Amino acid sequence: MSSLLQGIANPSDLKAVDPRDLPELADEIRRLLVQVVSKTGGHLGPSLGVVELTIALHRVFDSPKDPIIWDTGHQAYVHKILTGRAGLFSTLRQEGGLSGYPSRSESEHDFVENSHASTSLSYADGLAKAAKLRGETNRTVVAVIGDGALTGGMAWEALNNIAGVKDLPCVIVVNDNGRSYSPTIGGLATHLSSLRLTRSYEDLLAGAKEKLSGYPALYSALHGLKQGLKDIFTPQGMFEDLGLKYFGPIDGTDEPAVEAALRAARDFRGPVIVHVITKKGSGYLPAENHEEDCFHATGAFDPVTGTGAPKVAGWTDVFSEELVKLGAERDDLIGITAAMLYPTGLAAFADAYPERCFDVGIAEQHALTSAAGLAYGGLHPVVAIYSTFLNRAFDQVLMDVALHKLPVTIVLDRAGVTGDDGASHNGMWDLSILQVVPGLRIAAPRDADRLRTLLREAVAVEGPTVVRFPKGAISEPIEAVGRLGAMDVLRKSGSVSADVLIVAVGPMAATALEAAQILESEGIQATVVDPLWVKPLEEELVTAAESHRLVAVVEDNGRVNGVGDAVARLLRDAGSGVPVRSFGLPQQFLNHAKRAAILSQNGLTGADLAKEISRTVRPAVAR
């Protein structure tokens, strides 16, 4: 770590840095970002773009007295470095190390573990109102919101409320890089783009920054004059129509200019928008030139060339390929994504059928109800979304799609344990919250072939369906050895009346088979079945359970109200007395670690399952 960074243990140290040294500090931070993220993976592009902005924020405001809220939190790597965690930065996203998002347990400077978009302004509204009500007049709340996050409806609900309180000490920094994962879409993006181009007032001071590089105070004063001229000659845009003071647009790589604007915004003592133009991946050419997402989220890579390891085909790729094939067969299929065209695998569908694919921005609620409208119009939408983000649109699934029995297929990527991104990104809630939705069918494929088959079955249903699959490399193919109704039998026990029936949910099939093999070596007979469709469950499951002493359900979802509970309820309702053991994730917010490590920590390995099942059935076997 460099001498400049070594001298910054907290933000107050940053205020003492000579302004002439700030460009070197920015370079050092970028080098550290590339060095670490090339090994750990993470959100490199967004962090590279906000280096100067973050420096200016911490020179102007007094964190943690002045809360700084990041939306989303993947922009906060530089914030972590400047708030005493530079020495720990090499542990980023590693088990026991720094989180990839702000974390209240890490630092008093992290106010919100903000990894779901469009929430910062509501947090800021509440914090600023609390400060006002408590008479804390020397406190300013700062929300840094990416332009992509402004596509979320919740952000506009908050803006409406913030603008209604004229003396609310709230500074809203719009980090405008024209991208979320990929280019930001919609009317807001168009408007921000027009503001970026409306910069004729800057010609008045052309070359001033270079000529006055040795006189930062004078340059700052001239920038203030420039801002005043802009207020006279440049349209303020829709923000001032809402009642919000507007400063900008400001070059986000011009630290003195950003600092001057932030000081003016702080001193205004009311709700202010500071519009900062940044560039995702700034200062690292491989990221700047990466057309897909500017290294938005990357795995390990060569820091010199920017090249990563060869891509291994994963679940998302299988879904992507099959959907393109289905699109050729059915012209009523429509793709919908919430600002994740590439991450959810819809980019290939959009390339093949551009008229039939819609990116709605970070607006999951709108995505689902728009899908309902498309279904009413005679089409079959496929909404591709991360499992964790479906939580935000539950009401729309329940009341706008399922209530009307509409043919909408929801494809949940990153279902189950995702690992590195921590508690907010584990897709461990969907099987629980969706169990209560009437008429909804849920498929959980165990491998690539089943994903293709179940996706085809899902879009053929004249009603709401869900297909869920995990993050990462595809599972090895597991062929059925028989059928039980609509279920696949993956392993038959060696006797007619066996000891345990293991119900394997999706990718947990391999773990269940491993457990069954261990049990057999101990003299315990096990049958393994894959329901394929975990909602509704097949009645044949009751018949199968009756010939076993125990039913064990294995899933990578939370145990409460998951498939295990649904199986137990099915047997109870049928009058069966066969006991059910549910093996899944505890209802906790799980710390970041690799998927395999988290599953192991929670007893979801073949050896752990065999041990617990053996402990339960052994007394019955002994008798």
As annotated, the binding site includes 74, 115-117, 147-149, 177, 284, 364
> Largest Cα–Cα distance of the chain, in whole Å?
93
Query: What percent of the chain is helix, strand and coil (3-state, nearest 5)?
Result: 45, 15, 35
351, 342 in Cβ contact below 8 A? no
Catalytic residue among 30, 392, 441, 450: 392
Q: Is 392 a catalytic residue?
A: yes
1 vs 614: CA distance, rounded Å: 52
Q: How far apart are CA 481 and CA 492, in angstroms?
A: 8
**Which is the catalytic residue, given 28, 52, 106, 364?**
364
| Bridge partners, residue 442, by sequence | 466, 535
Catalytic residue check, 280: yes
Q: What is the C-alpha to C-alpha distance for residues 91 and 80, in angstroms, rounded to an integer?
A: 12
How buried is residue 165: exposed, middle or buried, by Cβ count under 10 Å (0-12/13-18/19+)?
middle
Which of 280, 452, 468, 471 is catalytic? The answer is 280
For residues 445 and 467, the answer to whether their CB atoms sit within 8 Å is: yes
Cα dihedral 390, 392, 395, 400 in deg (nearest 10): -60
Strand order in the sheet with 498-504: 482-484, 487-491, 526-530, 498-504, 548-558, 580-585
- Please tell me the distance from the alpha carbon of residue 239 to that of residue 247, in angstroms, as a whole number: 10
Pairing of strands 482-484, 487-491: antiparallel
Give 385's strand partners: 412
Q: What is the 3-state secondary structure (H, E, C) of 571-609?
A: HHHCCCCCCEEEEEECCCCCCCCCHHHHHHHCCCCHHHH
Q: Are strands 526-530 and 487-491 parallel, antiparallel or unpaired?
A: antiparallel
Note whether 418 and 427 are within 8 A (CB). Answer: yes
Closest CA to 417 of 467, 343, 473, 470: 470
Reduce the DSSP state of residue 381 to 3 states and report it: strand
- Residue 127, sorted as left (phi over 0), alpha (psi -120 to 50) or beta, turns out to be alpha
Of 65, 86, 79, 64, nearest to 7 by C-alpha is: 86
Question: Do residues 354 and 431 touch, judged by C-beta distance below 8 A?
Answer: no
Q: Please give the backbone phi and psi of residue 220, each rounded to the nearest 5 degrees, phi first.
A: -60, -40
Annotated binding site for Mg(2+): 147, 177
Q: What single-letter DSSP state applies at residue 399?
A: I
| 574: amino acid identity, one letter | A
Give the bridge partners for 176, in sequence order. Answer: 277
Binding site members for thiamine diphosphate:
74, 115-117, 148-149, 177, 284, 364
Catalytic residue list: 280, 364, 392
